[in-house]
Structure 1
């Protein structure tokens, strides 16, 4: 479930890259346990955690991604499904072929009828899925959001890839350094209602308000709907509409790959900077051909691994979703639940020409 490192030297280099960011990610929360317990009352209910409880055998976990053909979420879900074997459970992936707001509802209803022990969902819309998820929780089916959150009272836990503020602000910092803090930039997002994308974008906009970015302008937020062809076309549209555009941030693995593909075979190569979130395997050729200097991500296999253990801990009564509770996620070690039921996997890694061949996912 860990990143594949080809050499011990490479592993140490990768660890150093992660540690360099750890300092900035570490301090994102700041409420008391008592206040947060009341905040999560709707999700955790009045259940009492038993940290000494054993993980139940035979647990059934279902992963519901934004869309079934998203390559990034396939990595997450496959890792989570494989992880269930470690504690004697079973897992499966179900989901829609499109990422529209209501496309996940019918799948949630089916999983309720199947009496799954836990539903893990990457929400396309924070509110559209709430009614069936609340129905699931009333029937003692645990709900864990991952990658993209639901409204807070519609699940017990949210497994966040990294601190949302660090993800958003770092995207601006990275592209600003490459542009010498000057020029027009655009954002190529996923869907308009994607919780994670919108949260990151708000932090990007706030970061851009700082004086050091006074010569940078965000001209447009475009939406590729996590569809490869639409993201490709949106990239083309941005460059035609804004001839002075100097950079594009795409905080979605589908979008950044599509944008890089367009730029790589166009006259904009070497003139327009592409940054954002991508996987090493899909971005390797664009880094090596000079289209992309750097991008970021966390290990999606670890995200699925952590999600599976969190869901199992919930379903076994080890935790309820209240702040301050702790559980052990197998080989990843101990995690503590933060405010509003959030669990942060860890800091993102920055990939570039120097380290990209140390990773395989």
Structure 2
């Protein structure tokens, strides 16, 4: 899910995690590595899962975000890299500078050539990346998706930040409370093909059909393409084209922060409500100046941490991704694998003026 803003460079975020920047061979983007390579790790997963198998040492696991300069996904991948290092392996982040549907494919192909032990990816498009991911799996490289899923047959495990239905429905509840249960609303999403965004939006639409929301009208869905400036412009266009708009839901950290930045210095401040999914550090100033009342998110570092453990467990043969298996995830404890290989991190936290200073991510 989520900013191209030069003011929030990924290096700023990565500094606190202690990672080293390097170039990826064969890719034009940036690579972030963590931990010395122990070497000698074999590639692929065993055919039959053995929950008592030890995690292989020296695993090479690559994290492929939607775009390399997205602060949210940098936090996620830093958490994953930390997990891999904790397990005695080597993690790195590689990725494109744009969030287009096919931009990740060349990186997947390069990671296959490099014989990575596992690939962890937030898919820009569930179908565009599928052939390359299937190729990786056919060569014994396990695939874990996080944040935004790929086609279910193109990965073994999907680490979901929270229950998709809960995310979508809770967003409607938040905006309804803020606008008094009546008025026109819009959604400012990421890219049109983003699996997570579209799933959440479908649940939002369904929630809006309930009698308690009969006074709320969804008038438009806009797309900022996970780009800070475009999201800013889309928020501006929404407010100018719908003069009686009462609220905006932006279920993307790029979109909500860009929209908040626009509203904060506009005549719409205090008149148009904004909620969605954002990080506390991005949104703190907008909570404190009254632009935003409440928004939600999970801990992105923990999402990456869980994905890192899942990838290592797959590569070591501890799990296969089958429903009912148990993943041992370090400080996060155990997680059961659900239908279609889904593992859920946990419910999102709602942030407001009373608790936002308790969080730093």
Give the TM-score of the pair, scaled to structure 2.
0.87
Determine whether 1:138 maps to 2:146.
no
Q: CA RMSD in A?
A: 1.1
Per the alignment, do residues 86 and 50 of structure 1 end up closer, same or farther by CA in structure 2, a change over 3 Å counting?
same
1:252 is the counterpart of 2:252: yes
Match in the other structure for 1:124: 124
Size of the alignment, in residue pairs? 318
Distance across 2 between alignment mates of 1:197 and 1:178? 22
1:48 corresponds to: 48
Counterpart residue number, 1:112 = 112
CA deviation vs aligned residue, 1:75-95 (integer Å, no higher than 9, x gap) = 011111122111110000000
- Equivalent residues in 2 for 1:347-358, closer than 5 Å: 347-358=347-358
* Deviation string, structure 1 residues 216-268 (Cα, Å, up to 9, x no partner): 00000000001000000000100111111000000000000000000000000
- Give 3-state SS (helix, strand or coil) of 1:232's partner: helix
Shift of 1:47: 2.4
Q: Specify the alignment match of 1:314 in structure 2.
A: 314
Q: Secondary structure at the match of 2:144?
A: strand
In structure 1, list runs of 5 or more residues that go unmatched.
Answer: 1-43
Tell me the residue number matched to 2:302: 302
The match for 1:235 is: 235
Name the counterpart of 1:284: 284
Q: In the alignment, which residue of structure 2 is the partner of 1:195? A: 195
TM-score, with structure 1 as normaliser: 0.87
Separation of aligned partners in 1, 2:313 and 2:336: 12
d(CA) in 2 for partners of 1:47 and 1:273?
52
Within 5 Å, give how 1:146-157 maps onto structure 2: 146-157=146-157
Aligned counterpart, 2:101: 101
Q: Secondary structure at the match of 2:331?
A: helix
Q: Aligned partners of 2:286 and 2:304: how far apart in 1?
A: 26
Matched residue, 1:27: none
Aligned to 1:326: 326
Give secondary structure in 2 for the equivalent of 1:275. Answer: strand
Structure having the larger proportion of residues in helix: 1
Name the SS of the counterpart of 1:176 in structure 2. Answer: helix
CA distance in 2, matches of 1:82, 1:263: 36
Task: Indicate whether 1:335 and 2:314 are aligned.
Answer: no
Cα deviation for residue 341 of structure 1 reads 0.4
CA contact 2:45–2:314 (8 Å) conserved in 1 = no
CA distance in 2, matches of 1:46, 1:106: 27
Runs of 4+ in 1 over 3 A off after TM superposition: none
Q: Distance in 2 between matches of 1:133 and 1:359?
A: 35
Unaligned runs of 5+ in 2: 1-43
Deviation at 1:48, TM superposition (A): 1.4
**1:77 pairs with 2:77:** yes
Report the Cα distance in structure 1 between the residues aligned to 2:167 and 2:326, rounded to whole angstroms: 24
1:46 deviates by 9.3
What is the DSSP-based 3-state SS (H/G/I as helix, E as strand, rest coil) of the residue aligned with 2:225? coil
2:41 is aligned to none
Deviations 1:58-82 (A, max 9, x none): 1000000000000000001111112
CA contact (8 A) 2:45 2:140 kept: no
Within 1, Cα distance between the matches of 2:328 and 2:244?
Answer: 50
Q: Provide the residue aligned with 2:16 in structure 1.
A: none
Q: CA deviation at 1:45?
A: 10
Distance 1:113 1:46 in 2: 20
